[in-house]
Amino acid sequence: MTEVDPHFYDRADALIELANAQLAGAARGPVNDSLVYATARFNAWISACGHASAAEMAAAKAETLAAFVEQYRRLLEANLDDYIARFDAYQSAGKR
């Protein structure tokens, strides 16, 4: 991820709030699975929007997968590092 637009965190927080609201009727695992599926589905659509044909999209599939997986890996790593550094504060805030 390069430059963060001014509404980036507002959108991310809204999606996290939606996922948290889903916890009222489901466990964390299934909520996570749905969120990951939705992200993958949206990423596939984003990819399709960048191509003129299915053949063109198929030709770029490996590159597209690598780009999205790398982006996710970097973001997950950064968030894991953040949670490790602030574990007690984050976990105690969630228990209120």
Question: Domain check: are 37 and 11 in the same one?
Answer: yes
Domain count for the chain: 2
Domain, as residue range, for 69: 60-96
Q: Are 65 and 92 in the same domain?
A: yes
Same domain assignment for residues 72 and 95: yes
Residue 96 lies in a domain: yes
| Tens place of pLDDT per residue across the chain (96 aa) | 568 899 999 999 999 999 999 999 999 999 999 999 999 999 999 999 999 999 999 999 999 999 999 999 999 999 999 999 999 999 998 665
| Residues 72, 44 share a domain | no
The phi, psi pair for 51, rounded to 5°, reads: -130, 150
User: How much is the pLDDT for 4?
Assistant: 86
Same domain flag for 64 and 40:
no
Note whether residue 36 is domain-resident. Answer: yes
Q: Is the pTM of this model over 0.95?
A: no
DSSP type of residue 2: -
Cα of 6 vs its chain's centroid, Å: 18
The pLDDT, as a whole number, for residue 16 is 96
Q: Comparing C-alpha atoms, which of 77, 51, 78, 83 is closest to residue 64?
A: 51
CA torsion sign for 18, 13, 69, 42 is: positive
d(CA 18, CA 50): 28
- CB-based contact 60:69 (threshold 8 Å): no
Tokens 């597209």, located at residue: 64
